[in-house]
């Protein structure tokens, strides 16, 4: 994978864009664990182009505070948080799309390296819970590392590159 293969993020996440979200820290993809019973938990996994790693970002609105997106995988699952929670440590999940705020995301370019973006929770921002971003549990890098919501901190485990 090369930087040239990366898609721009915030301004170009359109209804026609489908890509993998590759983590800067681990070089693994944001995936939904399809091997488990409930097939909903977000994990890091070797990039393999499977439908659970193919994400389609559709802009839902721009309310003057930035555009926010529904992010859906190839199985039609929307990226969200477990039970709609915005608490630190909440598991990221793939779930039936329901229009709830926990399934809406800002896609913000990382200032230190604009090839990468943060996936920042619209629900946390709306509920005054602060800025919460999608990242790897404890910054771990291995396959099956849970992907969680945590205070945005500009660590590499919260940086994601969109790769077609």
Each residue's pLDDT tens digit, 93-136: 999 999 999 999 999 999 999 999 999 999 999 888 789 999 99
* Mean of all residue pLDDT scores within the chain: 89
The pLDDT value given to residue 64: 84
Query: What pTM, to 2 d.p., does this model score?
Result: 0.87
Interstrand relation of 104-109 and 55-62 (parallel, antiparallel or unpaired): unpaired
State the CATH architecture for 3-163.
Answer: Trefoil (2.80)
Each residue's pLDDT tens digit, 70-101: 999 999 999 999 999 999 999 999 999 999 99
Q: Are 84 and 39 in contact (CB under 8 A)?
A: no
Closest CA to 40 of 85, 89, 86, 77: 77
**Long-range own/partner contacts, residues 133-140 (CB < 8 A, 24 or more apart):** 133/158, 134/30, 134/42, 134/79, 134/92, 134/105, 134/158, 134/160, 136/23, 136/25, 136/26, 136/44, 137/89, 139/25, 140/26, 140/44
What gap in Å lies between CA 9 and CA 164, rounded to an integer?
12
The pLDDT value given to residue 37: 60
């Amino acid at each position: 994978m090369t930087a040239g293969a990366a898609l721009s993020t915030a301004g170009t996440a359109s209804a026609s864009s489908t890509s993998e979200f590759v983590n800067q820290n681990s070089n693994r993809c944001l995936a939904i664990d399809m091997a488990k019973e409930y097939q909903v938990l977000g994990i890091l996994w070797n990039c393999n182009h499977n439908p659970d790693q193919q994400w389609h970002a559709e802009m839902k609105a721009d309310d003057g505070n930035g555009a926010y997106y529904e992010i859906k995988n190839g199985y039609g699952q929307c990226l969200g948080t477990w039970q709609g929670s915005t608490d630190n440590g909440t598991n990221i999940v793939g779930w039936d799309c329901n229009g709830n705020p926990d399934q809406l995301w800002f896609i913000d370019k990382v200032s230190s390296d604009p090839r990468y973006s943060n996936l920042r929770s619209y629900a946390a921002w709306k509920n005054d819970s602060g800025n919460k971003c999608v990242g790897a549990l404890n910054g771990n890098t291995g396959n099956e590392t849970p992907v969680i919501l945590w205070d945005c901190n500009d660590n590499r485990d919260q940086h994601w590159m969109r790769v077609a």
